[in-house]
Structures are given as C-alpha cells and as structure tokens.
Structure 1
Amino acid sequence: MDARFNLFENEIASRFAKRFAGAALVVHDSPLPKSTQELVALRVSQINGCGHCVDMHVKEAAAAGESAVRLHLVATWRESTVFTEAEQAALALAEEGTRLADASRGVSDETWALVRKHYDDDRTAALVTLVALINAANRLAVITHRKGGSYEAGMFAAAVGN
C-alpha cells in the first residue's frame, strides 16, 4: 500500500516536520550513547508496529557498527545476554513509556531507579525525550502508512542537513 499522505508536501506538515527533526537532533547530539538511542528507537518502533521506523533504526544502527546479533535480539532483550545493565534499564523505560495503555502504572519506580542508577541528568533527559519522540514519529508514520524497506542509512541526517 502506498503512503496515504506525504507530510513533506504539505506546508503545515512540512513546518511541523522541520521542528520535529530539530527536536530529534537535540537528542541525537546528546551524551546518550548512539547505540542506546538506536536500540531504544528500534524497540519502541517494534512495539508500535512501525515498519518505516524499524527499517530506519535497524539500518542506522548497523551502519554505526551495531552487531546483527544485538539487533535481532532487541525484541527479546529480557531473554538475552547481549545487553548491558544500562541498556536494559533504557529498554525497560522505553517499553513501559510506550505501553502506557497496557500498563496502568506507567513507568514503574523500579525501572526509574534503574535508569537513574545508570544515567545522569542529561542522559536521562535525552532518554525520556527520545521515548516520547519515537512514539510520536511512529504514530506519524503508521497513520500515513509509511512502509519499511526503502530507507538507506544516512537519509535522515541528509534530510535535516546534519
């Protein structure tokens, strides 16, 4: 199925997309490790069923040197041995922050304590913001039917001039 609507061809949506990309660059340029950023973005996108974003984050992570094993195991990170404690805390926050309707308690105190154990204020701010941003990006792509498969590593950076 073709995309329903091109957000970049509409003036209002295009203006929003530029500001949204600017917000994403704040996270991208933060001290939160790039590998953690991609793993979190990938996991949230998997949960939300966003093929376009899964495609993007798998390819960006692979281009940045992430191993195929870790990329394949993101969906089952709790049952894997390849993620650090800090990455596990970030992935738990990503899941709990994404599944708000499924988990009435939202982000648990236990998960928050693990995040704070491993991440300072700047990294925590970037992580929380990333979870919110990727959830929003997933919704934009799913609503407009942007499909996965055609993304090439570096396309986002080229589009925002970074």
Structure 2
Amino acid sequence: MKRVTVRDQIPEIYGKILEVGPELQKILGDTLAELVKLRVSYINGCAFCIDKHTADALERGESRQRLFLLAAWREAPAHFTDAEQAALELVDQVTRLGEHGVSEEAYAGAAEHFDERETAALILAAAHMNLLNRVAITTHLHPPRRRS
C-alpha cells in the first residue's frame, strides 16, 4: 500500500517542523548536532535519516571512522570527547524513554559539559529527530541509491 507523504499533505506544518533543526544546530554546532541526529536514527533504525545525516556529516568534515563507531560509541571512548559522550548518553536515554526514563546520572553528565540552553537544545534535538524518524519510518521514506 502506498503511504501518505506528510510533506505534501500538510506542508505548512511539516515546513515548520523542518525549521527547528537548523536553529538547534546553531546552538549545538554542526559536529554535535549531526552526531545527535545520526545516533537517534541508528537507535530507531531509520534508514532514510541515517543515509541523509551520514552524508551531511561527511560533507561537514566528520571522519568516516567516527561515523562507523557511533553505533557503538560506548566501546570507542577514545574517539569521542567527554562532552560528546555525555551528550550521546542523554540522547540515548531520551530516545529510549520507555525503557527507564532519563537517569539523574545521564542528565548530570550532560549538565557538567553543557549550559542550560545547550542542554535544552540537546533534549529538543533528540526529540526532534525522534519525530522525524517516526514520520520517515511510518511513511516508508527510503534513502535513494547513491553512486559512490
């Protein structure tokens, strides 16, 4: 069955949702924002978003190795800064809320490295990417084939 294209059916709302990403990226910076988007997408299994944000991160100069290791970031601590690890832990727990909520340790770890505005941006970035993943997966939005 063909699924609805949300962007086409409700462009006035979908467009506003997409405007959130660049605003959060201004607060978090390109590197961390792309890591957050990609990590959430790995957890949710969103192929479209994994493809898009991997390509975006590579364009911005992220290393292929860090992108590969992001799926198992806890086992590769030397490849991620302490601040990135704290952000990824918070993002993982925000994405997996149904399992155990967000622990005090994860929240405190992020707060140790990020001010309140940046912490708020991390929470919103995770929630925003979760929303986009759910739309993409539900509507069967698939990545295009790339030559490279």
**TM-score above 0.5:** yes
Give 1:114 deviation, angstroms. Answer: 0.8
Provide closer, same or farther for how the CA distance between residues 3 and 29 of structure 1 changes in structure 2, counting only shifts above 3 A: farther
Q: TM-score, normalised by structure 1?
A: 0.84
Structure 2: give runs of 5+ residues left out of the alignment.
none
Q: Over aligned residues, Cα RMSD in angstroms?
A: 1.6
Structure 1: give runs of 5+ residues left out of the alignment.
152-162
Alpha-carbon contact 2:7-2:15 (below 8 Å) kept: no
| Greater relative CO (CA pairs within 8 A, separation 6+) | 1
Alpha-carbon contact 1:97-1:107 (below 8 Å) kept: yes
Higher helix share: 2
Q: Cα deviations across residues 44-82 of structure 1 (Å, max 9, x unaligned)? A: 101111001101110100000000000000000000020
Give 1:3 deviation, angstroms. Answer: 6.4
- Aligned to 1:9, what secondary structure does the other structure show? helix
**How many aligned residue pairs are there?**
145
Alpha-carbon contact 1:58-1:71 (below 8 Å) kept: yes
Q: Cα deviations across residues 112-161 of structure 1 (Å, max 9, x unaligned)? A: 1110010012211211110110000000000000012358xxxxxxxxxx
Which residue is equivalent to 2:37?
41
Which residue of 117, 131, 139 corresponds with 1:136? 131
Identity among equivalent pairs (%)? 39
Alpha-carbon contact 1:3-1:146 (below 8 Å) kept: no
- Aligned to 2:67, what secondary structure does the other structure show? helix
